[in-house]
Amino acid sequence: MDKSDEIGSRTWEQEGPVKEGENKKHSRDFLKGLITGMLIVSLLFLCVCAGGVLYWFYNGRAVDTAAEGSQESVITADTFEKMKIIEDAISEYYYYEDKVDAQGMQEGIYKGMVNSLDDPYSEYYSKEELEEVINSNQGISYGIGAYISMSKQMNMAMINGVMEESPAQEAGLREGDIIYEVDGESTQGMSLTQVVSLVKGREGTTVRLTIYREGEVDFQRLEIKRSKRLETTTVDSGMLENADHIGYLRIREFDTVTVDQYTEAMAELRGNGMEGMILDLRSNPGGDLSAVVEIARKILPEGLIVYTEDKQGTRKEYTCDGERELDIPLVVLVNEYSASASEILAGAIQDYHKGTLIGTTTYGKGIVQQIHRLEDGTALKLTISAYYTPAGRNIHGVGIEPDIELEYDYDASEADGSDNQVEKAIEILNEEIAKD
């Protein structure tokens, strides 16, 4: 599947600023890639520069930089001369030459070029990483049955949900757990794609996770046996037992399977007499733009859902005809881990006054990435535009402030399983239903 747009996908784009540790890792990848990939890149240079023309691919088209002069090329005679000097030194002096992984080093060149952009949302994907991204966004998993995103505070991978009857649930993984190590390898500075690729693997094999859990002194060390292919459930729903005629629907992420799952859940809730709904977008890291737009068309009135603007100022609009507008009171739950596509939906609902937002200020990711496939089966994911809510808000780095600010009560949840944000939502919905 070749997406035209991808916003904050589960395998995600790393959310949050790049810390020093990650910058150092990027530099290491870049340098070791330069060293061992010299010959291959030299051949590539000869091919693409034949006739004195260099091409850079942007948004699926080739741009003649010699003609446009939009960017000074980093591929120069001086660059190759220095690469050759380094390569010769490695060949002559490097003690561990037998341990050099040429293919891995070559990949380091391409990763290093993208990492040098200092954009945590832009990535180079190997063939294997691209396949994982595609599978994840289609709701297919071969791992342990856990949803993984990035913790903004820790800048590390975090468990943001666990599937029912999955290996992750059986091993005791919890939402909010920080993945500190995978098979003894520190995840500090890794992108989410890298962490996910380490966690997942062949069916029947075991992965060892070192987990940091807030409030506990010692790390949790868990061994989890990887499962067979899992079909991801991105939507959970049901009628609330302690509230008459109020339905609850949680979207964990926006994948291609989410639209059908949302439609089926809404039909069931309607059939059970739902008169008001809680839409839970807490810890939803985002996902596919087309998926969130389709769901927004089942909620919003006629008008603009979201629009994007690229560096040329070209505007692209996503609209709704209003024919399937939600006709019952709505409350939306958000938190600091609600990002990207979930912020598009929450922002549009807020702009149209279509529902009440409860919780804490959202993550604040207001930019769009696009995957560009390359002919050799690899790909680039690059930031291509910024997005704006219907009212023209760009929430990048700012987030969406809820209508009712309410911190989640973790102590009460641990003590008796209660959810103070859901309870507040029930209160608001009961008031709205009584008015009708």
- Residue of 200, 351, 381, 385 marked catalytic: 351
CA–CA separation, 300 and 326 (whole Å): 7
- Residue of 283, 338, 340, 342 marked catalytic: 340
CA–CA separation, 387 and 112 (whole Å): 27
Reply yes or no on whether 311 is catalytic: no
Q: In the block, which residue shows the tokens 């459930």?
A: 233
Reply yes or no on whether 351 is catalytic: yes
Integer-rounded Cα Rg, in Å, for the chain is 24
Q: In the block, which residue shows the tokens 């603007």?
A: 309
Question: Exposure string (b/e) for 241-262, b if CB count within 10 Å is 16 or more?
Answer: eebebbbbbbbbbbbbbbbebb
Reply yes or no on whether 340 is catalytic: yes
- Residue of 5, 365, 381, 385 marked catalytic: 365
User: Would you name the residues annotated as active-site residues?
Assistant: 340, 351, 365
